[in-house]
Amino acid sequence: MPDFGYTINKQRVIDLDKNDGQTVRRVRQLEPSINICIGCGTCTATCSANIFTEFNLRQLMLLVTRGETANLRKDIEKCMLCGKCMLACPRGVNTRNVLLAISRIFTENE
């Protein structure tokens, strides 16, 4: 077969049936304000930890709602819990409690 200079990439499909829906349901019980998050990214734009590390709160919230919780523990540990994201959020999401709820869930599951 001739080489035309391109390759076919693996499909980037999110299979929600294979993801962990239990975690997001538990987070929604512990902190209901996660339901009003619109994913605007204001939290990430104001984040102090984002300046010094590769911490992205918007991406973390998206992964939690999708149920992709495989690598979240390392990301949560980067947060300094300063609360800037909570103050900047236009919807009033209590992001600090969301992160603490996720951390609590991971601790309970150990």
Query: Would you place residue 34 in the very low, low, confident or very high pLDDT band (cuts 50, 70, 90)?
Result: very high
Confidence of residue 1 (pLDDT cuts 50, 70, 90): low
What is the domain count for the chain?
A: 1
Q: Is residue 93 in some structural domain?
A: yes
The set of residues, in sequence order, having a beta carbon less than 8 Å from that of 105 and lying 6+ positions away, is 23, 26, 27, 30
Evaluate whether residue 103 is within a structural domain: yes
Q: Note down the domain range covering 48.
A: 21-108
For residues 106 and 73, is the Cβ–Cβ distance under 8 A? yes
pTM, full prediction = 0.80
Q: Per the structure block, which two tokens stand in for 101?
A: 């709820």
Whether residue 38 is contained in a domain is answered as yes
Task: Look at residue 12 and tell me if it is in a domain.
Answer: no
How far, in whole angstroms, is CA 5 from its chain's centroid? 36
Is the residue at 55 inside a domain?
yes
* Res. 97: pLDDT tops 80: yes
Contact 67, 16 (CB under 8 A): yes
**pLDDT tens string 36-54:** 999 999 999 999 998 888 8
